[in-house]
Each structure stands twice: as C-alpha cells, then as structure tokens.
C-alpha cells in the first residue's frame, strides 16, 4: 500500500493505471469505512482511499479542530483490507487558493442542511475536487450519511460525471448504534443512551410497515421520546426516498431520518421502509 500526500504524486502513481475504485473518508476509520473498502474491492479494480478532514464542510463552532486525526492507525486498517493507495493531503494541498464553494447542491435548507449552513456545499465541493484528482470509475459512500449520498448522486447526474456511485449499508454496533467517528466523543452514560435513536427509528418503520400513515404524529412521538431522555433534537423526519422531500400522498418508499444531540455530540441516523 502506498501513502501519498500530494496531488502531483497521486497523479504520477495513477498514470497509466487501470480504472480505480475510490473511497473518500475523513479518517478515524471504523468497521463502517472498512465495509466501504470491501465494496470497492468487489469491483476488482485498484482501490484508492482518501483521508482528508475537509475544513469547508465544518461550520463555525463545529468540531473541525477536535475531529480525531489518526492517520497511522487508519493506514494499518486500510492496508489490512487491501487498499492500494491512501491519499492523505493537507488542507493547503486541496485548497491552495482561498476556500470557496464550487458546487451549490439542492436541498441545502432541508434536514441536516437546515442546521449546518454550507455543510453540503463543502462536502460536494471537496468530493468533486477529489473526483477530479483521482478520476475513479466508481466511488463508494455510506447510507449512514443519507442526505450526503443523495446529493452526491444528484451532483454526479447533474454534472454528467462518468463515475458510478456505490452505496454502502450502515454498519451498526450490536446494540443498534450506527458506527460513526463521532461516537468516540460520547461519555460512558451517553454511549449507553445512544442506541435509542436507532431503536426509535426502527419502531417508526415498523409502525409504518404495519399501516400507520400519520407521519407527523410518528415524528412527534419519536421527538418526545428523545427529549424525555435528555436529547436535543434537530429533526426527526419521514421523507420520500426518491426526492428526500416530504412524501406525496400514496408514496410507499420512504426513509425516516433523524439528527439529535446527546450532550455535545450530534448523532444522525436513518432507516428506509417501503410497503405495497
């Protein structure tokens, strides 16, 4: 496995290479990321993973400075799952000029976008830049970041990028908590409470599958349950899988998404459900 820090060296390393499969990350890797690498490897092409904590997608007061940087451990993990190249640039390498949003994605006032102004413009900008640097044939993104995945697929369509987007399923701890680099921020008691988020989403999807269609009532129920257990809720929302907007009457493929804070830690999760 090669560890490369600059665009120029990466370009040299990839010159004449076959098509590649790409897994962009911000490091501090866990089993969810490694699963994305497994998905990439299934394509049978050399795998490039990037590790870059992207300043452009963090808002003022968010956790950019304290986001865990664990390059050495990350490289050991990436090597163990057969990654060929790790691209780990610093911020000046990716943003040699003043950082600006190059992409204005849709739905930025919705869901996480409403609470993290500029976040998705920052994500799409860096992903587009990384796509241009790596020029992969396919790239893998996790469904845990459902809105991010949705917007990246939209960007690829709208900009006609010749890149196949592969979706990785959310990997969960035994108690249901979705794996996330931010779980390391949780205290012991917060970690014990954290699976409630997934459990409530699961119960919402079961109730919908059993015929409940009053989405607003289900959202309010889950919000109340979370708040009763000390969470500060940004949103719990039932959305259309096709548009990520509130479902139209009769729509039968939805996703329930939530973001809520336990202490200083913001957790997100989602579950899809459909019926006939």
Catalogue the active-site residues.
33
Q: Rule CB under 6 A: say whether 108 interacts with ligand PAF.
A: no
Judged by CB under 6 A, the residue of 7, 10, 14, 24 near ligand PAF is 24
- 257: closest CA among 265, 248, 245? 245
Q: Rule CB under 6 A: say whether 105 interacts with ligand PAF.
A: no
The residue (of 123 and 179) whose beta carbon lies closer to ligand PAF is 123
Strand-by-strand arrangement of the 2-4 sheet? 2-4, 85-87, 47-51, 21-25, 138-142, 164-168
Q: What is the DSSP letter of 172?
A: B
Cβ neighbourhood burial of 160 (10 Å; 0-12, 13-18, 19+): exposed
The residue (of 54 and 108) whose beta carbon lies closer to ligand PAF is 54
Q: Where are the alpha helices (DSSP H) in the chain?
A: 7-14, 31-41, 71-80, 91-94, 112-115, 119-134, 146-158, 188-193, 196-209, 215-228
- 208: closest CA among 274, 269, 111, 268? 274
Q: Rule CB under 6 A: say whether 26 interacts with ligand PAF.
A: yes
Judged by CB under 6 A, the residue of 35, 110, 145, 269 near ligand PAF is 145
- Chain centre to alpha carbon of residue 267: 12
The residue (of 40 and 126) whose beta carbon lies closer to ligand PAF is 126
Please report how close the Cβ of residue 67 comes to ligand PAF at its closest, in angstroms: 10
Q: Rule CB under 6 A: say whether 127 interacts with ligand PAF.
A: yes
Rama region for 28: left / alpha / beta (φ>0; ψ in -120 to 50; rest): left
The residue (of 148 and 237) whose beta carbon lies closer to ligand PAF is 148
- 259: closest CA among 187, 191, 178, 192? 178
Please report how close the Cβ of residue 244 comes to ligand PAF at its closest, in angstroms: 17
- 11: closest CA among 95, 120, 89, 108? 89
What b-and-e string marks burial along 204-221, b requiring 16 or more CB atoms within 10 Å of the CB? bbebbeeeeeebeebbeb
Question: Where does this chain touch ligand PAF (CB under 6 A) — which range of 83-91, 109-117, 121-129, 162-170?
Answer: 121-129
The residue (of 54 and 270) whose beta carbon lies closer to ligand PAF is 54
Pairwise CA distance, residues 4 & 18, whole Å: 18
Q: Rule CB under 6 A: say whether 123 interacts with ligand PAF.
A: yes
Judged by CB under 6 A, the residue of 20, 28, 54, 83 near ligand PAF is 54
Please report how close the Cβ of residue 99 comes to ligand PAF at its closest, in angstroms: 13
Q: Angle CA(5)–CA(9)–CA(15) in degrees, nearest 5?
A: 135
The residue (of 1 and 91) whose beta carbon lies closer to ligand PAF is 91
Q: Rule CB under 6 A: say whether 147 interacts with ligand PAF.
A: no
- Footprint of ligand PAF on residues 174-203 (CB under 6 A)? none
Please report how close the Cβ of residue 91 comes to ligand PAF at its closest, in angstroms: 12
Question: Where does this chain touch ligand PAF (CB under 6 A) — which range of 22-30, 102-110, 172-180, 183-191?
Answer: 22-30
Tell me which residues touch ligand PAF (CB under 6 A): 24-26, 54, 57, 123, 126-127, 145, 148
């Amino acid at each position: 496995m090669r560890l490369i820090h600059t665009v120029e060296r990466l370009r040299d390393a990839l010159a004449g290479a076959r098509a590649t499969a790409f897994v962009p990350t911000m490091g501090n890797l866990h089993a969810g990321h490694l699963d994305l690498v497994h998905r990439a490897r299934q394509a049978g092409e050399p795998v490039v993973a990037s590790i870059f904590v992207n300043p452009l997608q963090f808002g003022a007061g968010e956790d950019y400075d304290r986001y865990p940087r664990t390059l050495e451990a990350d490289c050991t993990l990436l090597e163990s799952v057969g990654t060929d190249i790790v691209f780990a640039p610093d911020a000046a390498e990716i943003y040699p000029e003043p950082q600006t949003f190059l992409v204005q994605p849709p739905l930025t006032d919705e869901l996480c976008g409403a609470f993290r102004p500029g976040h998705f413009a920052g994500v799409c900008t860096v992903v587009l830049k990384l796509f241009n640097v790596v020029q992969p044939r396919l790239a893998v993104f996790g469904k845990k970041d459902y809105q991010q995945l949705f917007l990246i697929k939209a960007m690829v369509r709208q900009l006609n990028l010749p890149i196949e987007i592969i979706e990785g399923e959310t990997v969960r701890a035994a108690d249901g908590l979705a794996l996330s680099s931010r779980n390391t921020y949780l205290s012991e008691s917060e970690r014990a409470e954290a699976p409630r988020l997934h459990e409530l989403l699961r119960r919402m999807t079961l109730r919908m599958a059993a015929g409940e269609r009053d989405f607003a009532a289900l959202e309010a129920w889950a919000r109340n349950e979370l708040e009763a257990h000390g969470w500060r809720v940004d949103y719990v929302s039932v959305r259309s899988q096709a548009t990520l907007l509130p479902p139209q009457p009769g729509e039968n493929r939805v996703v329930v998404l939530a973001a809520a804070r336990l202490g200083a830690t913001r957790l997100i999760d989602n579950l899809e459900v459909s019926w006939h």
